[in-house]
Amino acid sequence: MWASASFVGVLIIIGLPLWWKTTEVYRVSLPYDKISSFDTLSHSITTELTVLANDEATAAEIVGLIENEFKDSDVIKLKISKQVISQQLHSTLNSVADEHEAVEEVAAVFDLDQHNSFYVVQRKPLFQDTWLAGERIMFFRDAKASRTVVQALKRVVYQTSVLEGAKSETADVARQTRFPPGGGYHIVLSVVHPRPDALKVELDAGEAVEDYIGSFVDELSVLHNFTLKSQWLHLLDFDFQAKQVFLLFSIIFRFSI
């Protein structure tokens, strides 16, 4: 009886406080005042943009318009510089066959792999006002394309509306339809051809996926695993009325992904 009583006494006097101490949750008081002070700070992204034009007047006009459009932005702060293209690069850009070769020529002179930088380069032989490449570069034809350049920078390159929506208390449409998180994604390019007997279409779907999507997902390969696929769908009713949109490109290829 005395042995049982001593065991219970040791359990209550020593065991219970020891268990209480070893299982307690360590709580640290948060500096709420300092956290609240962050609301008054300016949260913005600073990035560099370089305008390369054939002459000083064109470069100044493009730079002035971009500065005017982004001067009131709370999310994007641009450090803009301008430069006149050298005569050698100017001749090369006018002589190469397509825009992909032009990107390689610019990359040989400027470091396109540098993070937090973007290049707007003038190139006369363009079929549209602007052409946006995937290597931190955009080509424009002349000073008349300045409006299109600004719209492409705001809507496609920097996506200021999405960033401003991320700062707001209410989520915008872009945030509501954002991709769900996952370890990998399958991206399928479906080419719909309702009547192969009436129209012969020659398109390498696999090459189109690599050209238009491959370079983009390569930049995101460090975050997710992407699998690119393509398929042809014949004799399938496709009730769709196509329309032309003249914003960035004069021709819009519509694919069902």
Please provide the DSSP assignment of the chain as one string.
-HHHHHHHHHIIIIIHHHHHHHTPPP-----HHHHHHGGGS---EEEEEEEEESSHHHHHHHHHHHHHHHTT-SSEEEEEEEEEPPHHHHHHHHHSSSHHHHHHHHHHHS-TT-TTEEEEEE-S--SSSEEE-SSSEEEE-SGGGHHHHHHHIIIIIS-HHHHHHHHSSS--HHHHTPPPP-SEEEEEEEEEES-TTT------HHHHHIIIIIHHHHHTTTT-EEEEEEEEEES-----------SS-SS----B-
In a domain, 23, yes or no: no
In a domain, 21, yes or no: no
Same domain, 143 and 185: no
Same domain, 62 and 145: yes
Structure tokens given for 68: 């005017």
**Residue where the block lists tokens 């200021």:** 160
In a domain, 20, yes or no: no
CATH number of the domain to which 58 belongs = 3.40.50
pLDDT confidence of residue 178 = 56
pLDDT confidence of residue 172 = 53
Tell me the whole-structure pTM to 2 decimals: 0.53
**In angstroms, what CA-CA distances link 191 with 195, 229, 252?**
12, 11, 15
Same domain, 122 and 157: yes
**Residue 64 CB neighbours (<10 A):** 13
CA–CA dist 23, 20 (Å, integer): 6
Identify the domain containing residue 210 by its residue range: 179-257
pLDDT confidence of residue 240 = 64
Same domain, 51 and 154: yes
pLDDT confidence of residue 171 = 52
Ranges of the chain whose pLDDT falls below 70: 41-43, 134-135, 162-183, 238-257
In a domain, 2, yes or no: no
Same domain, 216 and 152: no
Same domain, 105 and 211: no
Burial 116-125 (b: 16+ CB within 10 A, else e): ebbbbbbbee
Last residue of a domain, one of 109, 137, 164: 164
Same domain, 59 and 150: yes
pLDDT confidence of residue 244 = 57
In a domain, 234, yes or no: yes
Same domain, 93 and 68: yes
In a domain, 72, yes or no: yes
pLDDT confidence of residue 169 = 53
Same domain, 104 and 137: yes
**How many domains are there within the chain?**
2
pLDDT confidence of residue 242 = 61
Same domain, 160 and 183: no
In a domain, 127, yes or no: yes
CB 122 within 8 A of CB 139: yes
In a domain, 249, yes or no: yes
Last residue of a domain, one of 164, 195, 210: 164
Same domain, 52 and 149: yes
pLDDT confidence of residue 251 = 33
Same domain, 187 and 157: no
Last residue of a domain, one of 164, 196, 228: 164
194: which residues sit within 8 A by CB, 6+ positions away?
Answer: 234, 235, 236, 237, 238
